[in-house]
Structure 1
């Protein structure tokens, strides 16, 4: 049982991971309470669907103002339940939401506007199947409409960012939202206070607290879509239950993210990037650097410099009072500490070199930054998600070997390539099976609100952020429009031998690639139009 959230039959105690203090207790929601939540959501969604995108944006700007005015208080609430440093909370929980709100304020109206598309020439008119007026009468477009009520199942590592980001995206697309936070870090009261004090639309975003039992009840109530962020096993469980009702699911799952370092790299930048990319949020980031592949000729220099920097950054052992200068906070859950310790024990028993760190401070959630060097590719620490302040370093000789090592994983979420040779770096980046890749940087793609985010292989399915973040929560509807007339279409009944022969000649001519294909097809189309008019039912 996690030390962070101790569950009884119907109650869950939420702890401060730094102190062990019980912060509050949450209770499971009953089936009847969940039905009431959905009723409120659907009523709100009916109003929301009639609002313009500009009107929805006015609502989200209220949240932006609230976050700007209450940034410190929101950070404190997040820190009390996660144990992360103040700067991590600001950089990785608050900033992404503010930037996303600003980005969508400038772009959401355009992203959700009707999109005109071309109509195939055979469907048009003059010289083919109709009159000049008919030529201009056919239109086609794509429409983005709301889905209904969306369920967001959020993780414990970034409880605010990874709940509010998809929630706002879904809201802007016209959906009501129900957030199911993690039992470890539910942030109870934060969402409600933000919505109430900001004046945000009532019942458009609601929160439901509880364990997996409550989550299952929420799915049984049949939301229009489920957006899940969490572990692979959790994603499989959600998808299995959703499949019973054919509820669409988007999954943002785990990673075992590789960093490839070539021997022409700027070593100072690469080691600093590896350190931050591996230790951000105490390594509890699905896109964090976990596997570092270093070209053999610079292996010793890279390891020595990374070790030196790793042992200089502040942790709760050296800086118990966080004034903003704490680099690495503590682990959030005891079960994740147990996983890290098991991986490190196996690695050590099988000959891996633990160069720095490696031991949790007894009786606490403080786990020091840890560096492991090995050539044993069978270790769990190289294959299973570690999700803690641990990076491994493995040497490679050639570009081909680096690509093979990086892709030898069931995960494909994030990656990075480091080299002064940008042609080579991009060639390698394109060869990696990954949803996201940064060149000479780490975790940079997800900091750009315009770029899609999501994984390959067992790291999930679907994309959000940017225009994808709105379209993924939309019913993307195709529409064609014709003027009302007495004209028949060439594909309508009756079928006749003459029509078949003309259609065959038309298609062969139109798609022949001949310079005069369009002109010749026009002549055939005129004959076909006359035949259709003559043979109508």
Structure 2
């Protein structure tokens, strides 16, 4: 089925209307109307999949997608228009342009943690750029995947855009095909599998991965406000966010005040019984619940620590001073568990942060602008914030992506359109003048060429 579907999409790309920008725009307008009509269904599906609060579903899923759609529909004609660039002097007289050309057949593999937004946002960009798309949603969020299938099949012909559902076997079959572009969001482990499969056909990829995101709090930080913003950024979606703070590095003199402030903010957000709060999501499945529960073993939970295997509930939890080789500090946590480690000086920060691969995000809380800027420039990471968490994701003018192990490539806004477009360079040379200096024989022309090259 999958090879036949891919062949149909490749044929549609070659013979259909996807290269016509007006056709793409009309398709995205149909998609927008359907998404607005189905918003309540999307919220309900996310609730069924892992008790995602309606507020978070609107804030981080449905409205993000609609904003991306509005931006794309408004600007895609301009983005797709050939861009004139300054020609090289050696080519005088000429006109030079960059053309945005769709790659062709695109595979998008979406994750389970934001199963609607992280499926639809790249899909919108791929369609806007003129590609055909096969979307593989996560098999862990079955209700959202089924709804995505219903929405896409209503708006698009299957040879243009379609959803393929299934588990690892389906993903393996998809990755065995020859694609023109692959966009993957998920773990580093699976990202390596995707990259290896893409390398077989030299297929270009975007890999949106993750990592252990440090959150640094220095002695000058506003502790009550810091705690408030960390509670929101860490525990939204029950910590199942690739850019959530993964661990806190706090100046030792501020640790006790920070714990008190965190207790206050957690109770403000989720009451003193978070399990009963309708504003706190659940862990996605049993495997992830058990993985996270093992991280709590033999650790000092200064706040939280409660679990419920029946409902996959893990309380917002702070672990005090875990060992650096402990289970909770080995890999990305991806849950509502936050290790707190105190430090004295900059060398402590370097020793801990540099133990891990380059993270997707890094956060600094400080009222000392010089110190904050120094930390932001000292460490390599995908993106981040000073005196907040997560919010860099919402600015479509900022690229979103990782570096090193945390990802390859970036997207958002116009960069999403560019991600799914090959930039084709074309020089149109005039015929009314033909400078002889570039042609053989070259005797006596070396000095002239050197002079010209200095001005290129």
Using the size of structure 2 for normalisation, the TM-score is 0.92
On the 8 A contact 2:365/2:372 being kept in 1, the answer is yes
Provide closer, same or farther for how the CA distance between residues 218 and 315 of structure 1 changes in structure 2, counting only shifts above 3 A: farther
- Give yes or no for contact 2:214–2:248 (8 Å, CA) kept in 1: yes
Determine whether 1:495 maps to 2:441: yes
Equivalent in 357, 360, 371 of residue 410 of structure 1: 357
- Hey, what does 1:470 align to over in structure 2? 417
Match status 1:147 vs 2:103: yes
In structure 1, what is the equivalent of residue 84 of structure 2?
116
Pick which of 392-401 and 98-107 moved more.
392-401
Give the match for residue 74 of structure 1: 42
For the residue of structure 2 that corresponds to 1:49, the secondary structure is: coil
Residue of structure 2 equivalent to 1:263:
219
Q: Where do 5+ consecutive residues of structure 1 fail to align?
A: 1-32, 125-134, 512-517, 522-537
Structure 2 matches for 1:425-464, cutoff 5 A?
425-464=372-411
SS class of match (2:29): helix
Q: 1:210 aligns with which of 162, 166, 184?
A: 166
Match among 49, 65, 68 for residue 18 of structure 2:
49
Deviations 1:98-129 (A, max 9, x none): 111122233332223212121222332xxxxx
Verify the 8 A CA contact 1:425 1:439 in the aligned structure 2.
Answer: yes
| CA 1:381–1:375: 2 relative to 1, 3 Å | closer
Q: Is the 8 A contact 2:207 2:408 kept in 1?
A: yes
Contact 1:290 1:391 in 2 (8 A): yes
Asked if the contact 2:216–2:250 (Cα under 8 Å) also holds between the matched residues in 1, the reply is yes
Unpaired runs of at least 5, structure 2: none
2:290 aligned residue (315, 338, 343): 338
Q: Which has the higher mean CA deviation after the structures are superposed, 305-314 or 112-121?
A: 305-314
Give the distance between the partners of 1:333 and 1:411, measured in 2 at CA.
Answer: 28
Report the Cα distance in structure 2 between the residues aligned to 1:156 and 1:489, rounded to whole angstroms: 61
Q: Which moved more, 1:311-320 or 1:146-155?
A: 311-320
Aligned pair partner of 2:237 in 281, 290, 309: 281
Q: Within 2, Cα distance between the matches of 1:365 and 1:479?
A: 56
Contact 1:261 1:419 in 2 (8 A): yes
**1:460 to partner: Cα distance:** 1.2
> Partner of 1:238: helix, strand, or coil?
helix
TM-score by length of 1: 0.79
286-295 vs 200-209, which moves further:
200-209
Q: Deviations over 1:138-167 (max 9, x none)?
A: 011111100001000111111111111111
Q: 355-364 or 226-235, which moves further after superposition?
A: 355-364
Q: Is structure 2 residue 329 aligned with structure 1 residue 382?
A: yes
In the other structure, the counterpart of 1:391 is: 338
SS for the counterpart of 1:245 is: coil
> Shift of residue 358 of structure 1?
2.0
Distance of aligned partners of 1:409 and 1:489 in 2 relative to their CA distance in 1, 3 Å threshold: farther
> What's 2:115 paired with?
159
Q: Which residue of 1 aligns with 2:148?
A: 191
Which residue of structure 2 lines up, in the alignment, with residue 327 of structure 1? 279
Deviation larger for 285-294 or 360-369: 360-369
Q: 1:34 corresponds to which residue? A: 2
Aligned mates of 1:230, 1:216 — CA distance in 2 = 15
1:201: Cα distance to partner?
5.6
> How much does 1:374 deviate?
0.4
Following superposition of structure 1 onto structure 2, how do residues 98-109 of structure 1 map, counting pairs within 5 Å? 98-109=66-77
> Which stretches of structure 1, 4 residues or more, deviate above 4 A after TM superposition?
199-202, 315-320
1:504 corresponding residue in structure 2 = 447
Match of 1:151, SS? strand
Q: Cα distance 1:486–1:410, how it changes in 2: closer, same or farther (>3 A)?
A: closer
Cα deviation, residue 50, structure 1: 2.9
Residue by residue, what CA displacement relative to the aligned partner does 1:357-400 show, whole Å, maximum 9, x if unpaired?
Answer: 22321422111111012063232322311111011111122345
5 Å matches for 1:88-107? 88-107=56-75
Q: Could you say which residue in structure 2 is the equivalent of 1:12?
A: none
Q: CA deviation at 1:40?
A: 3.3
Shift in Å, 1:437: 1.1
* Distance in 2 between residues matched to 1:405 and 1:259, nearest whole Å: 12
Aligned length, in residue pairs: 454
Q: The residue matched to 2:227 in structure 1 has which SS?
A: helix
Structure 1 residue 422 displacement after superposition: 2.8
Distance 2:101 2:151 in 1: 27
**8 A Cα contact 1:315 1:327, kept in partner:** no
CA distance change for structure 1 residues 42 and 82 in 2, over 3 Å: closer, same or farther?
farther
